[in-house]
Amino acid sequence: MSVTVTSPAKVNLSLSVGPLRADGYHDIATVFHALSLHDTVTVSESDEPGISIDMRVLGVVPVDQDNLAMRAVRALAHHVNRPGNVHVNIIKRIPVAAGLAGGSADAAGALVACNELWQTGLSMSELTDMAATLGSDVAFALRGGTMVGTGRGERLAPVLAATFAPLNWVIAASGAGLSTPEVYRTLDEIREQSGIDADEPEVSIEMMLALRSGVVDDIAAALENDLQKAALKMRPSLARTLQAGIDAGAVGAIVSGSGPSCVFLARDADHSVDLAVELSASGTCDTILRATGPAAGVQLV
Ligand code: C5P
C-alpha cells in the first residue's frame, strides 16, 4: 500500500519583513504564490521500524533526523498514535535551498500522503495547523493558490484574486543555496547599520489591486521583497542575474523568498520560452526552469 502526492514550489509576490521577534522569527506580510513546479512524494508502509527516506535530487539535502519531511511523518505518527514505520520516496524537481520552499513542499506532501495512507480522518484544517508547527512555509504548500501569509508566514488568508490567465514565470536557480536564517540575519544587520527601524509588515495596496485586476504589468510593478537586499549582499552576482532577465525583456524580476533563485515574470507562455533561452545564453545562472502559477497545493496522484 502506498500513496503518492505532488507538492508545489512557491514564490513570494511580495514579502514585507518586520522587526526581529523575541523568538528569533520575524513577523512578515507576504503574498505566497504556488507554482506548477513540484516535487513528487510517495509514502509506503515499511517492514523496517522507523522512517526511511530516499531522494532523487539535483542538490544536497540533509537526509537525517532533521529532514523536514521526516519531521512531518514523525509529528503525524505521534499525533495519531501510530508507530510510523514508513518509507518516503521524494522525486525532487524544486531546487534545494533556493528560496522556493522545496523542503516545505516535501513536508506538506509527506503529511498529506501519510494522512491518506493511515486513513486518520484528520481534516485539512487540522493538517494545516500541524503543518504550521513544522515550518513557516509548510501550511502554504499544503493549501497552494495565491494567499496572504502573516505571522511568521503560517497564518493564511485567501487573496481576492481575479480569475486571470496563469502567470508565466522563468526561474533562474543557482547550484549553491543560501541559508534562510542567515539571509534574515543579514537584513537585520543592514537595518541596524543604516539606523532604519523596521516598520510593521504589510502587503501594499498596489499588489492587492494588481491581484484583483490580473494585469501582468501591474503585478510586475508591485513585486517587492525586503529580503532581496540581504540576498544581494550575501551573493552580489545575483544583481547580474536580475539585470540579465530585465535586459532579456522580463516584465518583472525579483529574488524569490530568501533566494538565491531569481524569478522573472513573462508576458505569456511564448514569451517565457524566449526569456528562458536568453537567460540561459547570458551565463548568469546555473539552471533555468519555467513554471506557471497559481498552482494547487498538495494533490493526491
Ligand atoms: O520556519 P522556518 O523553519 O522555515 O524558518 C527558518 C528560519 O528562517 C528561522 O529559524 C528564522 O531564522 C528565519 N525566519 C524568520 N522569520 C520568518 C520565517 C523564517 O526569521 N517569518
List the residue whose alpha carbon is closest to atom 13 of ligand 1.
Answer: 181
pLDDT number for residue 272: 98
pLDDT number for residue 77: 96
pLDDT number for residue 165: 81
Q: Answer for the pair 97, 234: CB distance below 8 angstroms, yes or no.
A: no
List the residue whose alpha carbon is closest to atom 9 of ligand 1.
Answer: 181
Taking 60 as the threshold, does the pLDDT of residue 127 lie above it?
yes
Residue range 247-252: average pLDDT? 97
pLDDT number for residue 58: 52
Q: Answer for the pair 37, 93: CB distance below 8 angstroms, yes or no.
A: yes
Taking 90 as the threshold, does the pLDDT of residue 164 lie above it?
no
137 in catalytic set: yes
Among the ranges given (61-65, 83-87, 139-143), the one the predictor scored with the smallest mean pLDDT? 61-65
> Is the CB of residue 28 below 6 angstroms from any atom belonging to ligand 1?
yes
pLDDT number for residue 97: 85
What pTM does this model have? 0.96
pLDDT number for residue 57: 65
pLDDT number for residue 60: 57
Q: Which atom of ligand 1 is nearest to the CA of 136?
A: 1
Taking 80 as the threshold, does the pLDDT of residue 162 lie above it?
no
> Is the CB of residue 180 below 6 angstroms from any atom belonging to ligand 1?
yes
Residue range 204-208: average pLDDT? 96
Taking 60 as the threshold, does the pLDDT of residue 62 lie above it?
no
